[in-house]
Amino acid sequence: MKVLVINCGSSSLKYQLIDMNNEEVLAKGLAERIGIDGSKIKHKPSGKEDVVIEKPMSNHKVALEIVINALVDENYGIIQSMDEISAVGHRVVHGGEKFSGSVVVNDDVMKALRECIDLAPLHNPPNIMGIEACQELMPNVPMIGVFDTAFHQTMPKSAYIYPLPYELYEKYGIRRYGFHGTSHKYVSNKAAEKLGKNIENLKIITCHLGNGASIAAVKNGESVDTSMGLTPLEGLAMGTRCGDIDPAIVTFVMEKENLDINGVNTLLNKKSGVLGVSGVSSDFRDIESAVKEGNDRAELALDVFANRVKKYIGAYAAIMGGVDAIVFTAGLGENSPEIREAVCEGFEYMGIEIDRTANKVRGKETIVSTEDSKVKVLVVPTNEELMIARDTKELV
């Protein structure tokens, strides 16, 4: 059985075709600049040369048509016909309170997704466009929706209700939802497997540190708290997002800098985080290089970032009544020994001891704590596409 996994952004479409008999990725790729000049697809078929296909793509449907043609192309294709695709799994960012697991998409689901647009105005519309494009091009193939928010639907009310007038929750659904759920679920389960323990008896803190970053408290296999909130802006400092700040700063800055709603949204989402503090870049590789060249603000940005992750680890150990394992994943979590060390440093009193030699690892599933460390620290590469494909297979 072959499953196509689709992840649509406003001007991009990422895809993977996975053979679920052996979970092998047959092809993957990225269509960029959809609806903008210079659209192209980078297509990577397994065992064949990568190709770049440059063609105008006015919308996601056109992009998807080109992707399907690439998958069946006689030179760089990987299947004979699109009939071989048994199902399509779609990443959907916001499922609100309606979805606590993946679902087969039908008219009711589409209606519910549209109702969630208010909660994720930047993310849900392209996700919906991706589903509609697939439905038009593959009318008889089942579509599955896999939600970033679903895994966190197990949080207790005490974790997801904001101390605001309760009516705002009732009227608008203002509450913590949390994101990166597919990744937090995947890496917590992988960590339990690696430790040879049943996840139902473990307290795990998962740190998804990429361009967007979030952290989750996973108790007995269920998310009980997470750092992102109503939107992905809350929590950790990120590449360009501020994470937690005093909410009074918003109106203060609007007044001082004469910013309107769009202006302040851009400031908090695009100009803050490690980019804002360092003035160098949102990419941690650039920041780490700048630190090596003696750039103080780059160093400060890393300190601010690590400090925030540390605070959340302490907080989540507190709410779970302890912690058995800490898991690092995503671009930075998987690839930066420096950040992992900075985060774990000073936690020895809690029984967290990183093994500096084992920690010199990039992108490989490994235990990086010492033999004696009471709390195990692991690097687990995330694989959201595989999780989406597994859910898709299970549901069809």
Q: Catalytic one among 148, 225, 324, 391?
A: 148
Single out the residue of 55, 114, 271, 285 in contact with ligand ADP (rule: CB under 6 A). 285
- We find the least distance from the C-beta atom of residue 23 to ligand ADP, in angstroms, to be 21
Place of tokens 């430790």: 195
The question of whether 303 is a catalytic residue gets the answer: no
- Asked if residue 24 lies in contact with residue 46, where contact means CB atoms within 8 angstroms, the answer is yes
Which class for 120: exposed (0-12), middle (13-18), buried (19 or more C-beta within 10 A)? Answer: buried
Measured distance CA(172)–CA(158) in Å, rounded: 18
**Closer residue to ligand ADP (CB): 324 or 385:** 385
**By CB under 6 A, residue 276 contacts ligand ADP:** no
Residue 385 CB, nearest approach to ligand ADP (Å) = 12
- Kindly state the number of chain residues that form the binding site for ligand ADP, as judged by CB under 6 A: 13
119 binds ligand ADP (CB under 6 A): no
In the shown chain, the binding pattern of residues 318 to 337 toward ligand ADP, with x for contact by CB under 6 A and - for none, equals ------------xxx--xx-
- Yes or no: say if 37 and 29 are a contact pair by the CB < 8 Å rule: no
Q: Which residues contact 175 (CB under 8 A, 6 or more apart)?
A: 97, 160, 161, 162, 169, 230
Please tell me whether residue 126 binds ligand ADP under the rule CB under 6 A.
no
Smallest distance, ligand ADP to C-beta of residue 211, A:
3
Question: Whose Cβ is closer to ligand ADP: residue 336's or residue 373's?
Answer: 336
Distance from C-alpha of 107 to C-alpha of 112, rounded to nearest angstrom? 9
Range 304-338 burial, b when 16+ CB lie within 10 A, else e: bbbebbbebbeebbeebeebbbbbbbbbbbbbbbe
Q: Which residue is nearest to ligand ADP (CB)?
A: 331
Q: What is the DSSP string of 235-265?
A: SS--SS---S--THHHHHHHHHTT--HHHHH
Say whether residue 243 binds ligand ADP (CB under 6 A).
no
Q: How far apart are the first and last CA of the chain?
A: 10
Task: Give the shortest CB-331-to-ligand ADP separation in angstroms.
Answer: 2
Residue 278 or 335: the one with the smaller Cβ distance to ligand ADP is 335
Q: Contact letters (x/-) for ligand ADP, 194-233, by CB under 6 A?
A: ----------------xxx---------------------
Counting every residue written for the chain, the total comes to: 396
Q: Which spans of this chain sit near ligand ADP (rule: CB under 6 A)?
A: 210-212, 239, 283-285, 288, 330-332, 335-336
Catalytic residues, by residue number, are 148
